[in-house]
Structures are given as structure tokens and as C-alpha cells.
Amino acid sequence: MEEQELTEKIIGCAMKVHSVLGPGFLESVYAKALAHELRNAGLKVECEKRITVKYDGVEVGEFSADLLVEEKVMVEEKAVQALVLAHEVQLVNYLTATGIEIGLLLNFGAPRLEYKRRSRTYREKQTPKDFILFILSKRFLSSFRFRRRACNLTARKGKLPSGQGPRFGRR
């Protein structure tokens, strides 16, 4: 199962748990309910997985990950009013310590489930803004201008009736 598909499945299970239980319980209640829901969905789940942190080959500490799903996605659960940057940093540090690439931060304490998908390494996000920048790039504009000039020259030579230039975007 691909990471994107797996994280979507985990988020779906978390939404189901949150819709049934609502906000207000301890983090441990949500952790057990989510683990149960993920197992019902056919996923392999490890709860409170002990992980050692090494620095320069020496063991310097350990922590327990809330959930590890399919040995691919680390899930860190919270039951707070709102997520803050420190929660995201904690998740990325856990990902770095384990070498796991993808993590999910889930907050069951808010009126609506909050979730954030984080990666151990930086991944540039594709946004509509990127697409708009591509369209406005020099290459696209120069190509557009060239086609427009060619069509205007054709219209001036009498091949098209005056005032009826080609309609861009239609074929």
C-alpha cells in the first residue's frame, strides 16, 4: 500500500473514532480506539513502540511512539485544544530518530479532528500557485505571443475575415 493511500486510510479511521467518541477523553482512550479501528481495517498496528535514540553510535535516550502502522507511518496522538508547532517538531524529531519517512499528527481534543501529515525530509508541495507560476513563465508567454502574432499576420493577409481572429482556448 502506498504511503499516501495508507495515511488517508489512517485519517479516515481517526475521523470515525472522533465522530463516535467526540472530544474530551484522555489520549490513551483515543489511542486504544484508533488501534482497534485500524486493525479492523486490516492494518498492522504497534502501540507504544519503544524506540531508542542514538547519537554518534551511543544510545542517548528512548521514547515510545504512540502508534506505528504497517512499519511505515508513525502516528502521534494528542488530546489538546489545538495543535502547536512544538507538536509538529516533536513528530519530525521522532521520524528523524527512527528513519521512518512519514508521520501523522492527530488531535482528538478539538471539536473537529485536526490532522497534519509530516515528512522526515523536506518535500516540496505542489500547489495551485506553482501551476499559475508555470503558466506565467517566460516560456509559456513567449509561446503564446508567437502563436498570437502568427494568427494576427494570417488575419492581416486576408485569410480570415476582418475582426474575426482565432478564438484562443477553443478548437
> How is the beta sheet containing 114-119 ordered, strand by strand?
45-55, 58-69, 73-78, 102-107, 114-119
pLDDT at 165 over 90: no
Domain made up of 3-119: CATH architecture? Alpha-Beta Complex (3.90)
Q: How far apart are CA 64 and CA 74, in angstroms?
A: 11
> What pLDDT score was predicted for residue 39?
97
Count of CA atoms in the C-beta half-sphere (13 A) of 144: 11
Cell of 89: 517538531
> What pLDDT score was predicted for residue 99?
87
How confident is residue 129, by pLDDT bands cut at 50, 70 and 90?
low
User: Over the chain, what is the mean pLDDT?
Assistant: 83
Return the domain boundaries, the chain: 3-119, 126-171
pLDDT at 133 over 90: no
Q: How far apart are CA 22 and CA 10, in angstroms?
A: 17
Q: What is the pLDDT of residues 7-36, one digit of tens each?
A: 999 999 999 999 999 999 999 999 999 999
